Amino acid sequence: MLPDSSEKNAAADQIPGTIPGAETERFKKQIEFILEVEKLKYVRRQTILLDRGRRENSAEHSWHIALMVLIMSEYSRETDIDFFHVMKMLLIHDLVEIDAGDTYCYDDIGRQDQGRREKIAADRIFGLLPADQAAALRKLWDEFEKRETPESRFANALDRVQPLLNNYFTDGQTWQDNDIKSGQVHRRMRPVKDGAPVLWNYVSALIEDAVKKGFLAE
């Protein structure tokens, strides 16, 4: 979901035109990037917070799943991996939503051009950094998207688990609001099995229980 125009304007107003005290071009670019990515706090997702007071924003989502690495690392399919690398992927993977917005995972129309929009956003946002750091972060982002490494598969697993927990423990509010069926949720959660089989068993049980309780349609 794209941020409201008023929110985007408010965010833009906070970015200074100059960076006082920046003695090198490298330092200037780094500060500009740090200020730019603050805009992720204005991108709202479909996921409802557990108190049901509002939807979470993408920065909160990224923080939450990065923290999950510390707590859930023992459930990775492959434990001999670089969990700090996993955390770095999770902290940067949604930065593209500053430009591309958060595309709801069950929005088939929006997902048709999601890849194109996000690649354009990645070029611009990571390109704000000095060349070496831009390349490093873009490499992390590409790795997450491709899901070919053990680290990226575990990162993707956690990325799917976090919103499912919120959906289940808010009695399926977002599922019901969007008329989501259990088969759609199972398909969406499939990468969890690749990255964290124990978590796959858990979320499968939650999906089954949600159907039984009537807040997720079959």
Per-residue pLDDT, 131? 98
Per-residue pLDDT, 1? 45
**Model's pTM, two decimal places?**
0.89
Per-residue pLDDT, 10? 46
Per-residue pLDDT, 9? 43
Domain ranges of the chain: 5-213
| Cα angle 33-37-149, degrees, rounded to a multiple of 5 | 95
Q: How far is the C-alpha of 104 from the C-alpha of 92, rounded, in Å?
A: 18
Which fold is adopted by the domain 5-213?
Answer: Hypothetical protein af1432 (1.10.3210)
8 A C-beta contact, residue 155 and residue 93: yes
Per-residue pLDDT, 119? 96
Per-residue pLDDT, 3? 45
All residue ranges of the chain with pLDDT < 50 are 1-6, 8-13
Structure tokens at 12: 């833009």
Cβ-count burial 147-175 (b if 16+ within 10 Å, e if not): eebbbbbbbbbbbbbbbbbbbbebebbbb
Per-residue pLDDT, 28? 94
With both helix axes pointing from N to C terminus, report the angle between 182-195 and 197-213 in degrees, rounded to the nearest 10.
Answer: 160
